[in-house]
Amino acid sequence: MTTMRYWQALNRALDAELAEDDAVLLLGEDVGLYGGTYRVSEGLLAKYGEWRVRDTPISENSFTGLGVGAAMLGLRPVVEIMTINFALLAMDAIVNMAAKIPFMSGGQFPMPLTVRMPGGVARQLGAQHSQRLEAMFLGVPGLRIVVPATPQDAYWQLRQAIRSDDPILVLEHELLYFTEGEVDENRPAPPLHQAICRRAGTDLTCISYSRMVSVAEAAAEQLAKDGIAMEIIDLRSLNPVDWDRCMRSVEKTHRALILAEDPRFGGVSGELTATLQERCFYWLDAPIGRLAGLDIPTPFNGALEAASIPRVGDVVTAAKALLSPDKER
């Protein structure tokens, strides 16, 4: 068991897979000499050389398409798109190629392609560099999406994604890279798309993912001081979703709060709410609550930026509202 930062866990995962399988290679802007976005590929160029750690031109659709072709030929490329905002320039390669070729070829061409992307609201990066686009990819059949919230999950899920024969997007929040946590490289990993209970509780269930899990945990600490036990389910995966784990928690607590950073309208929270409402209707003692980002481009101003996404106080208020008698119908 070692304490390391989120970016270090990703680096260790890449290092381990490059060492174990000669078919693994890295592609992207600045993944080589510069060491990758947030240092994730630091030191790998010197260790594995230019053939396997390849700096590319600033052309997202081209080098992601190169990754698709390499995967079709039996390699296991890991493509780094510098931020999820730039994935908009690679949508043809991701949506029309990676997601569909295995289906359209009748399984003759698997797609062992991993695409890593930092994203989320960081600190004053402006509207064009603060987008949360996971819901956009959620509507693309054929893609898998994982959202590690801890260094341990970053290590596990990246290694599992690289070994998979499916196209997998690994969405990493920019404010998580320098968070620390324990990583056990020898501990058996849970299934790639399995949700985890981060905190047990009996009064309500908070279902979240990525950085919002830590926001939920801080809110749970405050709620505990008032005698409220909030259970926290970390989805870890957005496609597929571990519905069974979510349902077991809601069956126990009878109340659910969905917490997401992306915009509320058309966002992930809407899909989660709709499906859980269908599956858990007769267990619920109150309508499912939703907390998500405001439906506006992210402001540059620091105070406005912070107010545009859920904060700890917002979660506490929403949880108490779900539990108050006047909210029950």
Go through the domains of the chain in sequence order and give each one's CATH number. 2-183 (3.40.50.970), 196-327 (3.40.50.920)
Identify whether 60 is a catalytic site residue: yes
Which residue shows structure tokens 């920019």? 174
Which residue shows structure tokens 């068991």? 1
pLDDT band at 1 (very low <50, low <70, confident <90, very high): confident
Do 231 and 204 contact (CB within 8 A), yes or no? yes
Q: Of the residues 17, 29, 60, 134, which is catalytic? A: 60
Whether 290 has a pLDDT exceeding 60, the answer reads: yes
Identify whether 173 is a catalytic site residue: no
Query: What's the pLDDT score for residue 325?
Result: 61
Residues 15-32 have pLDDT tens digits of: 999 999 999 999 999 999
Residues 61-88 have pLDDT tens digits of: 999 999 999 999 999 999 999 999 999 9
Q: Of the residues 129, 134, 261, 305, which is catalytic? A: 129
pLDDT band at 329 (very low <50, low <70, confident <90, very high): very low
DSSP 19-77: HH-TTEEEEETTSSSS--GGGTTTTHHHHH-TTTEEE--S-HHHHHHHHHHHHHTT-EE
Residues 234-251 have pLDDT tens digits of: 999 999 999 999 999 999
Half-sphere exposure of 73 (CA within 13 A, CB side): 10
| Angle (CA) 229 235 239, round 5° | 155
Whether 326 has a pLDDT exceeding 70, the answer reads: no
Which residue shows structure tokens 């007769």? 282
